[in-house]
Structure 1
Amino acid sequence: MFLICGEALFDLFGEASNDDSIGFDARIGGSPFNVAMGLARLGEESAFFGGISKDALGERLVQKFRTEGVSDRYILRTDYLTTLSLVQKDEHGSPAYTFYGSNAADRMVTKADLPAFDTPPLFLHIGSYTALVEPIAGALKALIERERDRTLVSFDPNIRPTVVADMALWRKNTEALMPLTDVVKVSDEDLALITPDTSIEDIARSWLRSGAALVIVTKGGEGASVFAPGIELTVPGIKVAVEDTVGAGDTFQAALLAGLKELGATNRSALAALDEGQLKRLVEFAVQAAAVTCARRGANLPRKAELEKEWAALK
Structure 2
Amino acid sequence: MTQSHESAVDAVPDKRRKTRTYMFLICGEALFDLFGEAGSGDSVSFDARIGGSPFNVAMGLARLEEDAGFFGGISRDALGERLVQKFRSEGVSERYILRTDYLTTLSLVQKDEHGSPAYTFYGENAADRMVTVDDLPQFDEPPLFLHIGSYTALVEPVSAAFRALIERERDHTLVSFDPNIRPTVVPDMALWRRNTESLVPLTDVVKVSDEDLALIAPGEPVETIARAWLGMGASLVIVTRGGDGATAFAEGIEVSRPGIKVTVEDTVGAGDTFQAALLAGLKHLGATNRDVLAALDAGQLNRLLDFAVGAAAITCSRRGADLPRRSELEKEWSALK
Q: Give the TM-score, by structure 2 length.
A: 0.93
The question of 1:177 aligning with 2:161 is answered: no
After TM superposition, the structure 1 = structure 2 runs for residues 116-265 of structure 1, keeping only pairs within 5 Å, are 116-265=138-287
Paired with 2:215 and 2:137, the residues of 1 have a C-alpha distance of 33
| Residue number in structure 2 paired with 1:309 | 331
Please identify runs of 4+ aligned residues in structure 1 that moved more than 3 A.
none
**SS of residue in 2 equivalent to 1:190:** helix
The reply to whether residue 54 of structure 1 matches residue 37 of structure 2 is: no
Kindly state the Cα deviation for residue 17 of structure 1 after the two structures are TM-superposed. 1.1
Residues of 2 paired with 1:171 and 1:105: CA distance? Answer: 25
Partner of 2:95: 73
SS in 1 for 2:94: coil
Measured in 2, the distance between the counterparts of 1:132 and 1:111 equals 15
Distance 1:203 1:219 in 2: 15
Deviations 1:103-126 (A, max 9, x none): 000000000000111210010000
**Mapped pair 1:95 → 2:117:** yes
Report the Cα distance in structure 1 between the residues aligned to 2:122 and 2:286, rounded to whole angstroms: 40
Query: In 2, distance between residues paired with 1:287 and 1:252?
Result: 6
The 3-state SS of whatever aligns with 1:241 is: coil
Counterpart among 119, 137, 151 of residue 115 in structure 1: 137
Counterpart of 1:85 in structure 2 is 107
User: Match for 1:112: what amino acid?
Assistant: D
Q: CA deviation at 1:94?
A: 0.1
2-structure distance, mates of 1:233, 1:49: 33
What's the counterpart of residue 65 of structure 2?
43
Structure 1: runs of 5 or more not aligned = none
1:70 & 1:311 partners in 2: Cα distance?
Answer: 21
1:41 is displaced (CA, Å) by: 0.1
Number of equivalenced pairs: 315
Deviation at 1:20, TM superposition (A): 1.2
Instruction: Give the aligned CA root-mean-square deviation in angstroms.
Output: 0.4
Q: Which of 289, 308, 313 matches 1:286? A: 308
User: Hey, what does 2:27 align to over in structure 1?
Assistant: 5
2:318 counterpart (296, 300, 304): 296
Deviations 1:81-136 (A, max 9, x none): 00000000000000000000000000000000001112100100000000000000
Inter-partner Cα distance in structure 2 for 1:214 and 1:314 = 17
AA aligned opposite 2:34:
L
**How many Å apart are 1:296 and its aligned residue?**
0.3
Which amino acid in the other structure matches residue 250 of structure 1?
Answer: D
Superposition TM-score, scaled by structure 1 size:
1.00
Instruction: Could you tell me which runs of 5 or more consecutive residues in structure 2 were left unpaired when the two chains were aligned.
Output: 1-22
Structure 2 residue 86 is the aligned partner of structure 1 residue 64: yes
Q: Aligned AA for 1:24?
A: F
CA-to-aligned-CA distance 1:263-292 (integer Å, 9 cap, x gap): 000011110011110010001000000000
TM-aligned CA deviation for residue 197 of structure 1: 2.4
